[in-house]
Structures are given as C-alpha cells and as structure tokens.
Structure 1
C-alpha cells in the first residue's frame, strides 16, 4: 500500500505502463527508481503541480 500520494501516483503509472511484477520499485519522496530483470534502470518523477509522472531521459 502506498504511503504518500506521490507513491500512489507513481505505482499507478508503473501498473499502466509495465507488465505487473516486471520491475522492482524503490520510491523515495516524489521520485522512484525502477529496475527490470536485465538490471536496466530508469528514474521516475512525480510532479505534484500537474499530478503526472515523467520518466527522466539520459
């Protein structure tokens, strides 16, 4: 269960964009680091002003 609104929105975004259980999620504040089975990672940011989640580009 999510502890914050940011975590809730981030996890909902992940559930919409990835196969369930296909990434590990570490949420800290309004950011999350996701890791897939190959060890590839991405960083997600929750923008509270727009209530949207963005994936950071390299």
Structure 2
C-alpha cells in the first residue's frame, strides 16, 4: 500500500483520495512531544542566528 508524505494518510480502496487514520492517545502524545521538540530546536537556531547577526553589526 502506498502512503503519502503524511504517514498517517493512506489512499482508500476506491481511490478517492486519502483518509486520516485516527491516532491513539499514546501516539498522539508522542507526536505532539516530537513536534514541540522540533519547534523548540527551530526557535533556538533562530535566536542563535539573530544573535550572531547582531554581533556582526
């Protein structure tokens, strides 16, 4: 079965696009934790970049 880039979507049997497979509570918590980590890492990198740009001025 092929999946789209979003790993929780799969084409339905009739080929009518994709359907979302609901996550159980633990999977949802893990997903949110991972997203928060990614966002936090991005904010840290952004603040480091801004700080290095301010130092150069």
TM-score (norm 2): 0.27
Q: Which one scores higher on RCO, CA 8 angstroms, separation ≥ 6?
A: 1
Larger Rg: 2
